[in-house]
Amino acid sequence: MDSAIETKFMLLMAGINTREQQKAALSLATTLRLRGIMSVFAIPQGSVFTKIFTERGYEVVSTSGFPQSKGLISKIARALKMQSCVQEATRILKVKGINAVLSFGGFSAYPFLEAASKINGIKIMLFEGNFAISKCGEDFMKKADRIYFPFEAMQENIDYEFYKKSFIVGIPVDREILKAEPAEILTKKRKLLILTCKKETRDMNAMVRELISKYPEITRDFYIIQETGDREIAAVQRYYETHKIESTCEMFFDNRGSYCKVADIILARPNSDIIAELIALKKPAIYLPLPKNKDYFQKQNAVFMAKKSMGYIVEDAKSVNAAVRIRKLYSYLNSYLKNEDNMKRNMAELDFENSANRMADDIEKILKSGKK
């Protein structure tokens, strides 16, 4: 951490339970640090995110976990555990001299939000990174001093009491993604970038193979760039080599921004970090959400992106049969050029590349004024 920067305020970030939440939090913390607002991360014991934050020079406090409220037994266990977790959170907030708590929506934020609500002078802030509001966000809206939403449309379905406390900021994006140089791909073909997430990579890879099998001309028109999981990488590479398909396939890209910038269109799961990056880079995409029972937020994100003409949606296998999914995917790959300019204009209007600065400006203003 840069010791030359004077510390003006201390902000505790909590509720960081997913990779998407971690990336947004780190991007925001980097921006805040330059303003003298130092971030402390409350991370559940054993989380892989502890190493990520400490390597970037941030302080991490390990917290006790507690059951999520699923089922009667879990609710009882959670209620019993909550009291001790709130006591632990209260001690941390006081010892660290925390001025505000910012939740990213994960269940691990509950004790800190509850503790902050009982300590005079500590501001409560909620950040929602998806189009649907998290359970944590719903439970603490009344106690919050500020609610950050990524999209203006989210203000339409909340009470006026909460509308007054809300602020549209977008989703903070890693500066390295934005500054990345386009990858060098020597081809005259259009470039299709396929981004799979850790959830259900096999389903997505199978869909791509089925698409190529039914419409082999896809490989004539597109050069394929694919990022896939460690369990699938060998099979995917072997498939492309066997069928002599021009491609670049890796397990994890060093900087996804390099490949996003060079891509003409992208096939991806609609996780909040993916959506944020593609909006910031103004890249059209076809989104393949998981079923709601596997990821509630993906479907909400994809529907919103399609409705606002910033991408396309191909529904999950439980909603639409396989043949229809493949036809829709093929159709979008062949027709997106007609709508590309319009989609890029719509994404540009959201100005996601400045989301971290916009959010940091408001946080700084609140902390300095002591007002909502």
Q: How many CA atoms lie within 13 A of 243 on its CB side?
A: 17
CATH of span 177-350: 3.40.50.2000
What is this structure's pTM?
0.92
Whole-angstrom distance between the N-terminal and C-terminal Cα of the chain?
Answer: 29
Q: How far apart are CA 307 and CA 290, in angstroms?
A: 18
Give the number of other Cβ atoms within 10 Å of residue 56's Cβ: 14
Largest CA distance in the chain: 66
Query: 76 and 70 in contact (C-beta within 8 Å)?
Result: no
Q: DSSP string covering 258-314, please?
A: HHHHH-SEEEE---HHHHHHHHHHT--EEE-PPPTTT-HHHHHHHHHHHHTTS-EE-
User: Which pLDDT score, from 0 to 100, does residue 199 have?
Assistant: 61
| pLDDT, mean of residues 259-270 | 96
pLDDT tens column, 36-84? 999 999 999 989 999 999 999 999 999 876 655 566 666 676 777 788 8
Q: How far apart are CA 299 and CA 322, in angstroms?
A: 17
Question: pLDDT higher for 252 or 269?
Answer: 269
Q: DSSP E strands: which ranges in the chain?
A: 9-14, 37-44, 59-63, 100-103, 123-127, 146-149, 166-168, 190-195, 222-227, 247-250, 265-268, 285-287, 312-313
Alpha carbon 54 to its chain centroid, in Å, reads 20
* Helix and strand numbers, DSSP H then E, in the chain: 15, 13
Query: 122 and 103 in contact (C-beta within 8 Å)?
Result: no
| pLDDT, mean of residues 126-149 | 96
Query: 85 and 68 in contact (C-beta within 8 Å)?
Result: no
Q: How far apart are CA 356 and CA 217, in angstroms?
A: 41
C-alpha torsion sign, points 70, 71, 73, 75: positive
pLDDT tens column, 86-123? 999 999 999 999 999 999 999 899 999 999 999 999 99
pLDDT tens column, 315-340? 987 777 889 999 999 999 999 999 99
Task: Output the CA angle 271-348-350, nearest 5 degrees.
Answer: 60
User: Which pLDDT score, from 0 to 100, does residue 372 have?
Assistant: 44
pLDDT tens column, 161-199? 999 999 999 999 999 999 999 999 999 999 999 998 666
Contacts of 13 (CB under 8 A, 6+ apart): 25, 28, 29, 39, 40, 41, 42, 101, 102, 103, 104
Q: What are phi and psi of 191, to 5 degrees?
A: -110, 120
Could you tell me which CATH class the domain 9-168 is placed in? alpha beta
Hey, where are the domains in the chain?
A: 9-168, 177-350
Q: How far is CA 188 from CA 46, 221, 250, in A?
A: 47, 9, 21
Contacts of 361 (CB under 8 A, 6+ apart): none
What residues does 287 pair with on adjacent strands?
268, 313
